[in-house]
């Protein structure tokens, strides 16, 4: 379903009394780009990567920094459940998101690769936000999904402060995610957290995909390049 981003109401800043929530959208589906895995191997990859992400959040302090952490996993990664979670959390929190899913142009890949998070979600949120800007309170949206840059305009139209996105196929979800979280959860700005994470991930990637003989960057690194979009740079908290 195409995305219709025709309205962008003026941003209403939330009251200082509102807490901070983190919505984690987690569905690996067991797929690794470029590899044709058997069914059992995909199941193992799906389980291990998702459990790793949940452990990582605890180890790096997400549950200490946020007033509430909600994880949508596997069968819960649908348009309807994402919309319900975002609107529910926004009642009492400013909501940051971690999109730990695969992606295609202008959409996310949901449950078992058979569900697409697309205009069904975004148009519903746009409608709610246009009628009442206080109904949706987005902070930052960090994603490791491929083609994340194509979704940046819609997240900004929905009032997000800042968004990142890969320009193409993202081959460096890790160590980018770990490096981002280690910065963000310790008080760095969003832009610094994203760019620092990708800079070090890119250095690691060059060990696998060095520049070509003509000096051009390898296609794997070029597609993984992260861009930061937003109306203002923000921190999760003031580290002073």
pLDDT score, position 232:
93
Residues 42, 31 contacting (CB under 8 angstroms):
yes
22 DSSP β-pair partners:
69, 96
pTM for the full model? Answer: 0.90
Closest CA to 139 of 7, 5, 14, 240: 14
Domains along the chain with CATH numbers: 19-167+226-230 (3.40.50)
* Rounded Cα distance, 51 and 47, in Å: 6
Banded pLDDT at 38 (limits 50, 70, 90): very low
* Rounded Cα distance, 95 and 155, in Å: 12
Residue-wise pLDDT tens digits, 72-120: 998 999 999 999 999 999 999 999 999 999 999 999 998 888 889 999 9
Query: H/E element holding 139?
Result: strand 138-143
71 DSSP β-pair partners:
24
Residue-wise pLDDT tens digits, 152-202: 999 999 999 999 999 999 999 999 999 999 999 999 999 999 999 999 999
Closest CA to 154 of 115, 132, 177, 124: 124
Cα–chain center distance at 127: 22
Using DSSP's 3-state secondary structure scheme, residue 27 falls into strand
Residue 35 φ then ψ, to 5°: -120, 135
Instruction: Check whether 37 has a pLDDT greater than 50.
Output: no
Cα–chain center distance at 125: 17
Using DSSP's 3-state secondary structure scheme, residue 163 falls into strand
Banded pLDDT at 32 (limits 50, 70, 90): low
């Amino acid at each position: 379903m195409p995305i219709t981003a025709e309205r962008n109401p003026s941003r209403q800043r939330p009251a200082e009394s509102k807490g901070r929530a983190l919505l984690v959208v987690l569905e690996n589906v067991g797929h690794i780009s470029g590899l044709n895995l058997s069914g059992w191997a995909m199941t193992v990859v799906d389980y291990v990567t998702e459990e790793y992400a949940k452990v990582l959040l605890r180890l790096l302090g997400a549950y200490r920094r946020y007033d509430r952490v909600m994880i949508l996993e596997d069968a819960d990664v649908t348009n309807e459940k994402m919309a319900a979670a975002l609107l529910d959390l926004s009642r009492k929190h400013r909501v940051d998101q971690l999109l730990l899913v695969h992606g295609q142009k202008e959409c996310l890949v949901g449950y078992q690769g058979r569900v697409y998070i697309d205009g069904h979600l975004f148009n519903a949120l746009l409608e709610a936000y246009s009628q009442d800007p206080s109904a949706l309170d987005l902070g930052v949206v960090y994603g490791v999904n491929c083609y994340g840059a194509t979704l940046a305009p819609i997240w900004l139209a929905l009032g997000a402060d800042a968004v990142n996105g890969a320009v193409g196929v993202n081959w460096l979800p890790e160590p980018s995610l770990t490096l981002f979280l280690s910065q963000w959860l310790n008080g760095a700005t969003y832009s610094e957290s994203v760019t620092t994470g990708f800079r070090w991930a890119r250095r690691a990637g060059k060990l696998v995909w060095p520049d070509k003989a003509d000096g051009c960057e390898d296609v794997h690194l070029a597609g993984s390049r992260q861009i930061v979009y937003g109306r203002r740079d923000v921190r999760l908290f003031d580290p002073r």
